[in-house]
Amino acid sequence: MSKLGGFGATVMGTGMAIPGRVVTNQDLERMVDTSDQWIVERTGIRTRYVAEEGVLTTDLAEAASREALRNAGVAPEDLDLILVGTNSPDTLFPAVAAKLQGRLGAVRAGAADVQSGCTGSLYAMAMAAGGIASGAFRHVLVVGAEVLSRMIDWTDRNTCVLFGDGAGAVVMGPASCGGGRVEGFSLRADGTKHDLITFMGGLVEHPASEETLAAGMHHVKMKGNDVFKFVNREIPPFIDGFLEEMGLSPEEVAHWVFHQANWRIIDGVLKRMGLPEDRAVVNLDRYGNTSSASILMALHEAVSSGRVSKGDRVLMSSFGAGMTYGALLLQY
C-alpha cells in the first residue's frame, strides 16, 4: 500500500469514447443459445458496444484522450508520459501508447502500454500518481482502451455476452492544479491463479499454427465460477484493509467505482461491506465489461454528470487476468 505524499497528484480531466455499433441481448439471442433474461439475471448487462470494421483500439483511445485533454485544459505537448492499459492492442508492438503519442503530437511524452488484465488502467493511474508526487512528471495521460470484440469467440455464450469495446481516459497532474488529490493506492496480484482468464494463442508459449486455431486458443477463455469465487473471497477484505491503512471507514467513501464486470460481483462486494447500492457507480448494463477501460469510463460518467462533488471521496477498484487487483482512493 502506498499512502501518497510528496507533491501529491490529482485527476485534472476525464474523457471516454465508445464505438457506434450497439449489440443488444436480443441480438445475442439470435447468435447463441442464450436469452435476455439469462444474461440480465447473471450479469446485469443489457447492451454493449462493438467496434465497427476498421476501428482500432488506438482510435478509441485517441477520442477519449482528446476529450480528457480538453476537460483538463492541458495541451498534448505539455504531457510528460502516456500510459495505456489494454489487453487488446492493435498489435503487440508497436504499443497503442506510442501510436497515440504520435497522433496527439505529444512531442515531449514517453509512451508505454500496461498489460495487467482489467486492472491495467488502475495500475497505470497508480504509476502516474507516484511519478507526479515524486516530481518526476507533471502531466500524465492515462488511458484504458479495448476492442476485445475481435478476441471473443462469438459462439461461446459464457464469454460473448460479457464484453464490450470502449475507452476511458484521465489527465493527471500535481495536486495544486486540481484541488483534489490521490490519497493512496494498493496494487496486488496472485499469480498462482494465472489460468483463470487467458488468451493463449499466437505468442511464445503457443505460436500461431493450424493447431492453435483449431483449439480455439486465439479467443479469450475464462473460468467464470472460479473468477467469481476469487473476487468475492479476496476483494472485500483487501478493500477493508486498504481503507484501514488509509484511516477511513467504508461509510466515508461517497462513490465506489468498481470494475464493471458483473452486477452480481459488485452487489456481493457491496453487501459484504455493508454499503447501499446507490454508493456504486454502475454503467455495465449499457456497456458490458470493457476490461481496462471500465473504471475510467465509469469515473468519467460520474464526474461529467455532476454526481461527484468537491470534497467527495471516490474509491476505484478493479481485478483482472493474472490474477491482478488493486484500489485507488481519490478525493475531489
277, 267 Cβ separation under 8 angstroms: yes
Give the per-residue SS3 of 62-82.
Answer: HHHHHHHHHHHCCCHHHCCEE
* Catalytic residue list contains 158: no
* Catalytic residue list contains 118: yes
Selected catalytic residue, list 25, 71, 87, 118: 118
Return the ∠ at Cα 73 (arms to 4 and 120), rounded to 5°. Answer: 45
d(CA 269, CA 318): 12
- What is the fold, at CATH topology level, of the domain defined by 1-332? Peroxisomal Thiolase; Chain A, domain 1 (3.40.47)
Selected catalytic residue, list 139, 255, 259, 300: 259
Q: Give domain limits for the chain.
A: 1-332
Selected catalytic residue, list 25, 87, 262, 289: 289
d(CA 248, CA 120): 25
Tell me what pLDDT residue 194 has: 97
Tell me what pLDDT residue 3 has: 85
* Catalytic residue list contains 259: yes
Tell me what pLDDT residue 4 has: 87
Q: Which residue has the cell 492541458?
A: 74
Tell me what pLDDT residue 316 has: 98
Tell me what pLDDT residue 1 has: 60
Tell me what pLDDT residue 155 has: 94
pTM of the model: 0.97
Note down pLDDT in tens along the chain; length 332 residues: 678 888 899 999 999 999 999 999 999 999 999 999 999 999 999 999 999 999 999 999 999 999 999 999 999 999 999 999 999 999 999 999 999 999 999 999 999 999 999 999 999 999 999 999 999 999 999 999 999 999 999 999 999 999 999 999 999 999 987 678 999 999 999 999 999 999 999 999 999 999 999 999 999 999 999 999 999 999 999 999 999 999 999 999 999 999 999 999 999 999 988 999 999 999 999 999 999 999 999 999 999 999 999 999 999 999 999 999 999 999 99
Tell me what pLDDT residue 5 has: 84
Percent of the chain with pLDDT over 70: 99
Tell me what pLDDT residue 69 has: 98
Q: 136-189: per-residue pLDDT in tens?
A: 999 999 999 999 999 999 999 999 999 999 999 999 999 987 678 999 999 999
Q: Residue 229: which residues within 8 A CB-CB, separation 6 or more?
A: none
Tell me what pLDDT residue 6 has: 86
